[in-house]
Amino acid sequence: MEILAFGVQADEQPLIESAFAGHHEVRCLDVFLNEDTAPIAAGYEAVSTSVNAELGARVLEALAAGGTRMIAQRSTGYNNIDLKAAERLGMTIARVSYYSPYSVAEFAWALAMAVNRRVVRASTRTRDFDFRLDGLMGRDMHGRTVGVLGTGKIGEAFTRIAHGFGMRLLGWDVAENPACRELGMRYVPKEQLLAESDLITLHVPLMPETTHLLDADALKSMKDDAILVNSSRGGLIDTAALVTELRAGRFAGVGLDVYEAEAGLFYVDRSLEAIEDDTLARLVTFPNVLVTSHQAYYTEDAVGQIIDATVRNVLDYEAGRRSENVLVPRS
């Protein structure tokens, strides 16, 4: 069986090909799976997709019509997949339920510190031999309050780093993490966390219940000089409302590795094109905002684990096995 892998980055391709060697042939494409590219998968029983694939009912129907029976998504999140449609079509859907939480947690901290200490602005200046310190003043993290929205594996890893900084720890989640409590975290209502935190970081999945978790009212309740970091899913923040707050001069810094309308933009070179997304175009103009391209997971360790899990998911499908990665089982 030959596997068709969509949305493969150049760094990933040799890792994917090596991981599948001895099991199956794999064809890697740099294009992303959507309604326009779905016909390419005709004749492939198994397809692997990236986090930005569009897997709504119409795309799944096109894949099924072409003979695809199994989709192995190379990510933990699956809010882009219509699971009910997949079940109706008799398709097997699997994801990667676990990979290095340190990859995302460490990158979230990189964003936090970069906006806090104005690293990008300083680097740009020094390239022009401008060594002034005006506008580069940051703040110590030690002794300040961090609010962690979502204290699963990634949130816990972020909290451990915050504990090392000597910060006061506030958490919010549907279930408390004993490991975070042992570090001194106090679980509080979301409203209290937003009002008291100097640094707020998001580590919850995107679901209907968490869409725009930080809406206009939530953003207004934050401190004027707070730092906000999102390395989870773009839809957790109402971006238009965030732009409104930034235009009012609020927030010491915002670090975003994700954007709610990133599909079709992120992972693609758009540098020679006019960006039609006015919200994103405005967002990147703020001097206290740093936007990166959904790369928090992108370490050798995490990507290797993601690819290994993807291979296992395909092999499990063939053998009729079911693991914790299966979202829709083989019918």
Catalytic residue check, 262? yes
Catalytic residue check, 25? no
Catalytic residue among 118, 203, 294, 330: 294
Checking DSSP bridges between strand 326-328 and strand 25-28, what pairing results, if any? unpaired
Counting Cβ atoms within 10 Å, is residue 46 exposed (0-12), middle (13-18) or buried (19+)? buried
Catalytic residue check, 233? yes
Tally of residues, the chain: 331
Q: Which of 177, 201, 200, 197 is nearest to 187 (CA)?
A: 177
Q: Where are the beta strands (DSSP E) in 150-207?
A: 168-172, 186-187, 199-202
- Using CA atoms, how far apart are residues 83 and 309, in angstroms rounded to an integer? 20
Catalytic residue among 250, 262, 312, 330: 262
Place of tokens 């961090």: 146
Backbone angles phi, psi at 306, to 5 degrees: -65, -45
What type of residue sits at position 95?
Answer: R
Q: Which of 225, 241, 286, 236 is nearest to 259 (CA)?
A: 236
Catalytic residue among 118, 233, 312, 330: 233
Q: Which of 183, 182, 176, 178 is nearest to 162 (CA)?
A: 183
Max Cα-Cα span within the chain: 65
How far is CA 140 from its chain centroid?
Answer: 27
Share of the chain residues as helix, strand and coil, in percent rounded to the nearest 5: 35, 15, 45
- Using CA atoms, how far apart are residues 313 and 310, in angstroms rounded to an integer? 5
- Using CA atoms, how far apart are residues 8 and 17, in angstroms rounded to an integer? 11
Just list the catalytic residues. Answer: 233, 262, 294
